[in-house]
Amino acid sequence: MIAAGMAACGGRGAAKKTAQPPVQYGFTVVAEYPHDPAAYTQGLFWADGAMYRDGDGVVSCGIFETEVVDTTAAGDTFIGYFLAAVAEGKPPEAALRLASRASSITVSRPGAADSIPLRAEVAPD
């Protein structure tokens, strides 16, 4: 599975370094592995939500509106919650919603590790 935080984490969540702009690089990673499942965020600071694609199609999730205080750890939170949900057997749509909801909580708080919500804080699907 490819998990690339394109704009929000500046492409740093991807596997290799490049001189390409973050959004373009994220799409390049997805294009290089067309048959592998991929989850990625869209738009500057995820303004367009997140998507997941695999051989069966594409699913997307919008954003959860919140007051942005600090974007530190937003990408880590998204990827961690998404992969945890997939590991639990949740479908991609539910994993995207959980990860997006958790990231919206993260950006509403200052700091890095302290801003990441506990699972109990993220409303269940």
Residues labelled as active-site residues: 76
In this structure, are strands 57-61 and 2-4 parallel, antiparallel, or unpaired? Answer: unpaired
**Where does residue 110 rank: exposed (0-12), middle (13-18), buried (19+ CB within 10 A)?**
exposed
Segment holding 64, helix H or strand E: none
CA dihedral of 79, 84, 89, 91, whole degrees rounded to 10? -30
